[in-house]
Amino acid sequence: MLPGIARFIFNMQEWCLGRNSFSILRQLRSSERWPRERLDQLRLERLQRMVHLAYAHTPYWRELMEQHKIRPEEIRSFSDLQRFPLLEKSTLRRCREEMVWREEGKRVQLIRTSGSTNEALQFYTSSTREAHINAARMRGHEWIGIRRGQREMYFWGSPVELSKQDRIKRFRDWLINDGLTNGFEITPERVARYFGYWKQWRPRCIFGYPSSFVLMVHMAEAQHLPLTELKERHGLKAICTTSEMLTDVDRKIITEAFGVPVYDSYGLREAGLIGHECQYFTMHCMDEQLILETIDPQTLQPTGGPGELVVTNIMGPAMPILRYRTGDMVELSHTPCPCGRSLSRIRISGGRIADFILTDQGKWVVGYSFIYICRSVKGIIKFQVRQDRIGEIRILLVTDANFPPDGIAQVARAARARLASTDTILVQQVDDIPPAPSGKYRPVISAVTQQLMERGQFKPDS
């Protein structure tokens, strides 16, 4: 589809869904270069409005403000926000129905995410909130030279067998120049097929998980597949990563293999898009939509340097999110960037790195594919997949009262179907899953794949 037509169709799709994403995008293009004082004034006005709406329309926030003697009109500065207690994931989960303003606007609906910590979470969104997220994402892509309507390929999760609904979505994505490649299950054979498909599709940008890109690079090199052809002959301009920590080593591996720059983005589904790198690889914050703080995760006191990120979304009134603890370790600053944007910057200092499982059939399966297994069974709060040796895979589950009596069997069946192997699958309920030293929960820990990656192998020793 021609870029201009694809952009027009996407705009019409957004309009039909009640989302004025392109109008917001035009505003964002202007405000990103405002003087900091003017930008902060806008943010404060939006914060004040959000607090008023939360008090007026949601029982949870009204009761909390009355309990803490907070009057909406008393929020006169960003520091006043700290009068609100921190919002924990457990509170959001427990009090979700008291936090929602169901009459906020169009398409107020419940969605589910496993989140970067693998903690199952349901929350409400609306056309208002989604429009701001979409506009922020489009702006971030424009920073790296990719305009809505140009061809993008999502190296993401996709089912092997497409249902009727999947086929409808695939056609809709084709109309707006969005392609999809399965980034969850990667084999040397699939890598060769993906490479051929990408050359045919000719994307300007490929978007996906760093771990999937790195594994594809290693397997492509083993088959002497010239990934740089995507740039040299087929128009690839950039790669954009998300959902996991992009290390300097991984960025170098991907950049050298594809011959194009790699830009990172960072967000949480329940909080929105938080940061996106510009052409100078500075990750700028979406200041017009968020207020960000850092705290010491032990004392919970504000920090002037690195700390746990706390997010307040000032453009999602259907379910106000005020001072939400993310569990991610970051560093915030206002250091100027050569791009000239006045937006603050964020540096991720804690990781969200997914590992892989290697089946007894020699198939590498990315850890994020297990998220969808656990989404399919009620009552799973956290999960972790562990592999200490070939042929045996353990799945640890933290569950609540909604977990069905045959839940363990359901997870085991879904895992076997996903892996399509004869591996022994052991599913175990546990009281808790401790985080990694970074403070994050890793979805998969595989000693097998870690050792093979370090040795540059893709098959275990015979």
Higher pLDDT residue, 347 or 440? 347
Which residue's structure tokens are 């353990």? 394
What's the CA gap between 114 and 161, in Å, rounded? 23
Mean pLDDT over 322-327 rounds to: 92
Identical fold for domains 3-133+268-348 and 145-260, yes or no, is yes
Q: What is the pLDDT of residues 73-122, one digit of tens each?
A: 999 999 999 999 999 988 998 999 999 999 999 999 998 765 444 456 88
Greatest alpha-carbon pair distance for the chain in Å reads 70
Task: Please choose, from the candidates 138, 135, 119, 126, the residue with its C-alpha nearest in 3D space to the C-alpha of residue 320.
Answer: 126
Using pLDDT thresholds of 50, 70 and 90, give the confidence band for residue 438: very low
Mean pLDDT over 249-277 rounds to: 94
What's the CA gap between 50 and 456, in Å, rounded? 51
Question: What is the 8-class DSSP label of residue 84?
Answer: S
The long-range contacts involving 290-294, CB below 8 angstroms and separated by at least 24 positions, are: 290/314, 291/43, 291/47, 291/78, 291/81, 292/332, 292/344, 292/346, 293/81, 293/82, 293/323, 294/330, 294/331, 294/332
What's the CA gap between 213 and 205, in Å, rounded? 13
Task: Report the CATH architecture of 145-260.
Answer: 3-Layer(aba) Sandwich (3.40)
Average pLDDT, the chain: 88
Backbone angle region of 362, left / alpha / beta, with phi > 0 → left and psi within -120 to 50 → alpha? left
Residue 266 tokens read as: 């960072």
Q: How many residues are listed for the chain in this entry?
A: 462
Using pLDDT thresholds of 50, 70 and 90, give the confidence band for residue 164: very low
Angle at 98 between CA 94 and CA 100, to 5 degrees: 110
Q: What is the pLDDT of residues 54-71, one digit of tens each?
A: 999 999 999 999 999 999
pTM of the model: 0.82
Using pLDDT thresholds of 50, 70 and 90, give the confidence band for residue 157: low
Task: Report the CATH architecture of 3-133+268-348.
Answer: 3-Layer(aba) Sandwich (3.40)
Q: Which CA distances in Å does 25 have to 21, 125, 138, 366, 385?
A: 6, 19, 7, 34, 40
Domain boundaries, the chain: 3-133+268-348, 145-260, 356-455
Higher pLDDT residue, 215 or 381? 215
Homologous superfamily, domain 356-455: ANL, C-terminal domain (3.30.300.30)
Q: What is the pLDDT of residues 388-434, one digit of tens each?
A: 999 999 999 988 888 999 999 999 999 998 888 899 999 999 998 87
Which residues contact residue 263 at a Cβ distance below 8 angstroms, ignoring those fewer than 6 apart?
A: 143, 144, 238, 239, 240, 241, 276, 277, 281
Cβ 302 vs Cβ 283: under 8 Å:
no
The DSSP annotation for 150-216 comes to B-EEEEE---SS--HHHHHHHHHHHHTTEEEEE-SEE-HHHHHHHHHHHHHH--SEEEE-HHHHHHH
